[in-house]
Structure 1
Amino acid sequence: MPDTKIASVLTPLAQKYGKYALPVAVAILVIFHGVGFWGFLFSGRPEYFQELTPMNLLLTNALLFAFHRHWSVAFILFAVLVSAVGYFSEVLGVHTGLLFGDYAYGAALGLKVWEVPLLIGLNWLMLVYTTGHISNFIRLPWLVKALLGALLMVLLDIFIEPVAMQFDFWSWSGADIPLSNFIGWFMIATGLHVYFQKAPMYKENKLAPYVFLVQLLFFISIYSFL
């Protein structure tokens, strides 16, 4: 009986204020990335904001997956496998030069294991998940959607790379970004997007497109000042 009374009180509150959840989450994303934009370029202390990058990434993912519904076994398996594939692809890339080219991670992305930040796996998951949602807006065959999702990830990476080199996320041997990086990104992303399209999990997250767009605008904005 007490549980029923509590539910009877909370349900109307959730219905009344739930409509504000998405705009509040988007506002938080914009504010945090806006502060990061100012901090990297105009604060005079970009190294301080570099140290905050892991927290920003964790906050972004917390908001993103707070909007995910139906945490099924299929979704959890998807999240674990995508994170693992992304992370170990980077481990292979850093230690062999295969997949992406000759590069090394700096200190800005936090704790590293096998010379790769642990958060990289989470970053791969976030990007596949958000671009997968965007590609699902079009009514085309699943393979076309997978290719579109991979292309969106490559588009973002084009603007991430110069920023990453400037602010100690990672660096390339010879300071040139090789074409192999974008080819490797596209190939791995395509495979993960095929998985996204085929995975029997819930794929309606209202915040997902905003997360990708905020990230894209963030890196484009910084890139335009470099």
Structure 2
Amino acid sequence: MSSLSLLWGSVVHRPYVYAFLTCFLVFAVRHLGVRRMLLFWLPTHLVAFACEYSSTRNGFPFGPYRYFDDTRGQELWISNVPFFDSLSFVFLSYFSFVLASALVGDVARPVSRAIPWIGGVLMTILDVVIDPVALQGEKWFLGRIYDYPYRGFYFGVTAANFAGWFFLGFVSQALFQLLRSAFGWARAPLPPTGRLFVLGCFGVYAGIFLFNLTMTVIIGDHRLAMASAIVTAGTLAAIGLGLRQRSLRRAPDLPSGAGGA
């Protein structure tokens, strides 16, 4: 099969991934402009693939695991890693990055050294809800994707996996800050963003939680659903309170039709 056919197979098999990726494109182009959006996307995707490729061979940084290739020939794979998996980290890292920037105080000037640390934590918390239900993908339309050589402490997910998510979130966001400072065109000021933009990003971040929580309820894992609901509610409440205190009180709304450079 051609690469385009396999890529289309990825869309058919993983429509939720491409729905969230579309959200990334809409928000990131508005926030960063096309070139800086690509400056976030491409390095993050490459780093994510490198982490997946490395972990399936030597265990760094997610710990050892393996992918089942049941869908090889139906969707796009790069070596032994399904394309959609490393692609997902692009929007997961971006929305964590925006919320971290808002919590620090200014989405239009995401230069604080604290942002990758906070963003890495926000991305890792997403995984607390994502991976336990993804590990049971054969019970829903995700399918059997991967497994660990041993059962992890949190509903089968290992501590190393969570550490790897933080590592990837931190590295991808710090790398974007570094690349922005390295190129004159990328250092140009970002267009101002208002409270509606931040609320939209918060909504997508919440949507990632709620999609995975919904799948957990559908497969009937009530213990995991309860734990994921507590994580989701607590995280969204904490972020919402932080945004209210730091960003939303000060950020002006933009007039209709304002766009990024």
Q: After TM superposition, is the score higher than 0.5?
A: yes
1:211 corresponding residue in structure 2:
204
Does residue 131 of the first structure (1) align with residue 91 of the second (2)? Answer: no
Taking the aligned partners of 2:204 and 2:41, their CA distance within structure 1 comes to: 17
Does residue 153 of the first structure (1) align with residue 146 of the second (2)? Answer: no
Structure 2 residue corresponding to 1:85, chosen from 29, 44, 47: 47
The alignment partner of 2:150 has SS state of helix
1:73 corresponding residue in structure 2:
35
Taking the aligned partners of 1:171 and 1:108, their CA distance within structure 2 comes to: 15
Q: Deviations over 1:84-124 (max 9, x none)?
A: 11112101111222211121223479422211011223211
Instruction: Give, as a single letter, the amino acid of the residue that structure 2 aligns with 1:169.
Output: I
For residue 51 of structure 1, report the CA deviation from its aligned partner: 8.9
> What RMSD over aligned residues (CA atoms) do the two structures have, in Å?
2.8
If asked which structure has higher relative contact order (CA below 8 Å, sep 6+), I would say 1
Q: Deviations over 1:2-46 (max 9, x none)?
A: xxxxxxxxxxxxxxxxxxxxxxxxxxxxxxxxxxxxxxxxxxxxx
Q: For the Cα contact (< 8 Å) 1:132–1:197, is it kept in 2?
A: no
For residue 150 of structure 1, report the CA deviation from its aligned partner: 0.6
Structure 1 residue corresponding to 2:215, chosen from 207, 219, 222: 222
Matches within 5 A, 1:112-191: 112-139=77-104, 142-167=112-137, 168-176=144-152, 177-191=157-171
% identity of equivalent residues: 21
Q: For the Cα contact (< 8 Å) 2:39–2:176, is it kept in 1?
A: no
Relative to structure 1, the CA distance from residue 53 to residue 175 in structure 2 (aligned partners, 3 Å threshold; closer, same or farther) is: farther
Unaligned runs of at least 5 residues, structure 2:
1-9, 106-110, 138-143, 181-185, 222-261
Taking the aligned partners of 2:22 and 2:129, their CA distance within structure 1 comes to: 24
Relative to structure 1, the CA distance from residue 149 to residue 114 in structure 2 (aligned partners, 3 Å threshold; closer, same or farther) is: same
For residue 158 of structure 1, report the CA deviation from its aligned partner: 1.2
For residue 133 of structure 1, report the CA deviation from its aligned partner: 0.9
The number of residues matched between the two structures is 177
For residue 149 of structure 1, report the CA deviation from its aligned partner: 0.8
Taking the aligned partners of 1:55 and 1:221, their CA distance within structure 2 comes to: 16
161-170 or 100-109, larger mean C-alpha shift: 100-109
Instruction: Give, as a single letter, the amino acid of the residue that structure 1 aligns with 2:81.
Output: V
Taking the aligned partners of 2:124 and 2:13, their CA distance within structure 1 comes to: 21
Higher helix share: 1
Unaligned runs of at least 5 residues, structure 1:
1-49
Q: For the Cα contact (< 8 Å) 1:82–1:192, is it kept in 2?
A: yes
For residue 83 of structure 1, report the CA deviation from its aligned partner: 0.7
Normalized against structure 1, the TM-score is what? 0.67
The alignment partner of 2:147 has SS state of strand
Taking the aligned partners of 1:75 and 1:154, their CA distance within structure 2 comes to: 22
Q: For the Cα contact (< 8 Å) 2:51–2:62, is it kept in 1?
A: no
